């Protein structure tokens, strides 16, 4: 069974930094894209950042210049380095993986990030 386990969430101060990690385990076909999404109560889940198998990255306008997504294929892990945190970054962050085969999508359980002073 494919599993995505996020870690690194918790409390962060405005202007501070956090690093989220997502480890993919189990039998999975070739991955097309790995990404991070976030969601707050009553809001729609939104894409934060993603990285394709070729290394192409895409970021939401709200996090450009502050967040960096990185992929370690050897460790089957994707990271989200979050710098210059803002209160608006508070959300549940979800790891997502999509395969080439059948465009299958997998989701992590989510990790809470709370930014406050």
pLDDT tens digit sequence for 37-87: 999 998 999 999 999 999 999 999 999 999 999 999 888 999 999 999 999
Q: What is the pLDDT of residue 30?
A: 92
Could you tell me which of 91, 89, 105 has the C-alpha nearest to residue 34?
105
Q: What is the pLDDT of residue 40?
A: 94
**Which phi and psi angles does 96 have, rounded to 5°?**
-135, 140
Q: What is the pLDDT of residue 116?
A: 97
Tokens found for residue 61: 């306008």
pLDDT tens digit sequence for 10-32: 999 999 999 999 999 999 999 99
The CA distance from 115 to 91, in Å, is 9
Q: What is the pLDDT of residue 73?
A: 85
pLDDT tens digit sequence for 92-101: 999 999 999 9
């Amino acid at each position: 069974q494919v599993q995505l386990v996020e870690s690194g969430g918790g409390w962060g101060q405005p202007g501070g930094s956090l690093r989220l990690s997502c480890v993919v385990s189990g039998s999975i076909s070739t991955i097309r894209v790995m990404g991070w999404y976030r969601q707050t109560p009553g809001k729609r889940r939104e894409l934060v950042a993603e990285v394709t198998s070729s290394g192409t990255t895409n970021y939401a306008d709200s996090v450009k210049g502050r967040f960096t997504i990185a992929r370690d294929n050897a460790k089957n892990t994707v990271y989200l380095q979050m710098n210059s945190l803002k209160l608006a970054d508070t959300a549940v962050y979800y790891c997502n993986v999509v395969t080439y085969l059948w465009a299958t999508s997998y989701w992590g359980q989510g990790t809470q990030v709370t930014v406050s002073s």
